[in-house]
Every structure is written in C-alpha cells, then in structure tokens.
Structure 1
Amino acid sequence: MNGHHPQPPSEYFFERYPWNDWRVLFLMALLMACCDFLAGPIIFFPVLFVIPVALMAWNCGLRTALRLAVVLCIIRFSIQYAWGIPYTLPVAIINGILRVAILLFITFLCGKLSEQTKALRARVRTLEGLLPTCAYCKDIRDEEGEWQQMEEYVASRSAAQFTHGICPKCVAIHFSEVVNPDEKKKDAGADPG
C-alpha cells in the first residue's frame, strides 16, 4: 500500500509552469545569451544567467542545471571571443573559469536547497492536518474516500511500524477473569443470590 501519492500544487510560483519546465528554462537561457551578445564583451559576469540555472537546479535537478551552467559559460566565452577580447587570452580564460566556478557553486547550492526543501515538505506532509476517523473502529478515510485501518494508513505514509500489545486498562476490562481468576471466584462466592 506504499503507492505514489500525488503532490499538491506548490504555493510558490517558481515551482509551477512555466518555471518548472526545462524547455522553457533552456529557451530563457538562450534568450539571455542573445541579450548578452547584444550587450557587448565588457560585462564580465552575466548575472542574468543565474536565473534560468537556479530555476533549473530547483525544478529539474542538479545535473541538468550544472550542464546548463557550463553551456552558458561556454556561450559567454564564445560571445566575448566573437566581439574581440579587450584583454589578453590568459585573462579571458581566468575570467571564464571564475565565471564557471561561481555559476556552478550557485547551481549546486540551489540544487541542494531544493532537495532538502522537498524532503522536508514530504516529511511534513506525511501526517499533517485533520484525519477523518471512524468513532467506533478508528479506521481513517484517505484522500480517495476509502477507509483504511489506522496502522495501514500511517505505515503507508511514514516510516512508522506498529507492534501490538494490550494496555493495563484494557486487560482489566476485557481479561480480568484470566488475569485475576481468584477475584472472579470471590465475587461468585460472595453473591449468595
């Protein structure tokens, strides 16, 4: 019963369409690269590249975003080369390496933060809110309207496992003649009828 439970829509705009579609983010990155080309070779770090890369890291995974970051930095270096590098080639290479390192670091941070946030949300969502419970048998109604035993419901949504025993109160109520058979005989002998 550990089936996949649908994710509720996100409350954050950047986790919804179009910001969570890798194709849209890739097109956005290409558009920003075109704008970077039009701006000329003097801008050392195209800050706008951070936006599609961070969104890609958050919504589409760290590997995809790291690849996009490297591609954008290569495009930026090519743009600089096409415009004519205003300084020596070793300085341009050092700038390129710094650009890649900074963008990869930002991408890595966004990806890890996204993973931790999603894991935390899943943990919070596991058993939050009001649970519709039967007043008699204590079964719980799930999202589809089906009734499940409490143990089954909780186990399918968390790492909790159940063991069963009998509390002292229930032993006294339901098994008093087994636990204290002498008391039952005393009661029977004391009641002459």
Structure 2
Amino acid sequence: MNGPAPQSPSEYFFERYPWNNKGVLFFIALLMSCSDFLAGPVVFFPFLFVIPVTLMAWNCGLRTALWLGALLCLIRFCIQYAWGIPYAFHVAVINALLRLAILFFITYLCGKLSEQTKALRARVRTLEGLLPTCSYCKDIRDENGEWQQIEEYVTSRSEVQFTHGICPKCVQKHFSGVMHHDGAKKEAESHDGQSSE
C-alpha cells in the first residue's frame, strides 16, 4: 500500500523495449551501416541513419544520440572511400558535413520534443483526475477502491513530504479553552508574584 504508484505503460510503442535500449539501437545503427556498405557504390542508405539516432534521442538522451549520429556520419564517410567513389576530397568532406549538420538538427529537434513531452506527461499526471475524498475525515479512495489518509496517498505518488502544525483558526476553535485557562493561570501567577513583592 505504501509503495510507489504503478507506472502506466508508455503511450508510444517506440518508448518500450527493445526500442528504448541503447545496445539494441547501436546494433540497429551497425546493421544499417553494414547494409549501406553491402549495397555498393551506387545505392546509398544514409537517410536510414535517422531511425536509430532519433530513437536514441527520444529514449536515451540527446548527448548519446549526437555521438551516435557523428559515428554514423564518420562510418558513411569511410564507406565512400572503401568503394572508391570518384569524388574530390573536398566534395566528400562537404557532403559529410552537410549530412552531419542535417542529422544533428533532426536529432536535436527530436531530443527537445522528447524532453517537452515527458515534462508535459509528468505535469498532466500531477494535475489530472478527480480525487474521491471523504467529506468528514478527508481520506482519499485510490484506484483499488481502498481509502488512504491524504498524506499517505500524496506521498506514495509524488516527491512531497508532509509536516504537521496547527493553524491559528484551529487553535482558536479546538484549544481556545486551554489557551484561556493557561493565559489566566499565567496572569494570576504574575499577579501573585507582584503582590508578594
């Protein structure tokens, strides 16, 4: 009952295993590089590099995805020379830099979109829904139909920790007799102390 709230399954298939695993994504990138090499000097598949790099940016972070994109562009540059493509060196470098810039741009956009989507989901999870609350004791009914104290319910689903005190209105309402009695007693004691002097 006190454990963390169960995680809801991801909305998107590409956020689940195997698409969110770095090792799998590196393997897919390697397969795409191999297919690019095996296709020969005429057929090129560099656009397929976008798939593992964007999946990496979405699931594993922008920095890792940028490194993978740079590695794939370097491999593509080496494949060109392995097949002996008759480009001038400066043309091959310009093509590689353009490919790298475009891949980095797409990766950056995908990484930022992922961050915003995850932040938005967290905010929606925090704010959405109606909480069935008892009118008298303020306990909350959870998704299993069991009643929990509000502190327990909120603490199990968020990072919030509770401290307790008494507000002035409740002190007046619940402890006014004690406060008046203690105040009168202190006043009598101070009055007795002054009269004995």
1:132-143 to 2 correspondences below 5 Å = 132-142=132-142
Alignment match, 2:150: 149
TM-score with structure 1 setting the length: 0.73
Deviation at 1:89, TM superposition (A): 0.5
Q: Which amino acid aligns with 1:41?
A: P
Alignment match, 2:48: 48
| Unpaired runs of at least 5, structure 1 | 176-193
Question: 2:30 & 2:73 partners in 1: Cα distance?
Answer: 12
What are the superposed Cα offsets for residues 74-133 of structure 1, whole Å, 9 maximum, x if unpaired? 110011110013210100001001111111111111001000000000000013223232
Question: 2:42 & 2:149 partners in 1: Cα distance?
Answer: 65
Corresponding position: 1:101 with 2:101: yes
Task: Tell me if structure 2 keeps the 8 A contact 1:69–1:100.
Answer: yes
1:83-98 to 2 correspondences below 5 Å = 83-98=83-98
Q: How many residues align?
A: 170
Q: More deviation in 145-154 or 87-96?
A: 145-154
TM-score with structure 2 setting the length: 0.72
Identity score, percent: 68
Alignment match, 1:79: 79
Runs of 4+ in 1 over 3 A off after TM superposition: 3-7, 41-45, 141-146, 156-159, 161-166
| Unpaired runs of at least 5, structure 2 | 175-197
User: What is the SS of the residue equivalent to 1:116?
Assistant: helix
User: Per the alignment, do residues 48 and 27 of structure 1 end up closer, same or farther by CA in structure 2, a change over 3 Å counting?
Assistant: same
CA RMSD of aligned residues (A): 3.2
What are the superposed Cα offsets for residues 45-85 of structure 1, whole Å, 9 maximum, x if unpaired? 71100000000000011111111000100110011110013
Q: Which amino acid aligns with 1:48?
A: L
User: What is the SS of the residue equivalent to 2:7?
Assistant: coil
Deviation at 1:22, TM superposition (A): 1.0
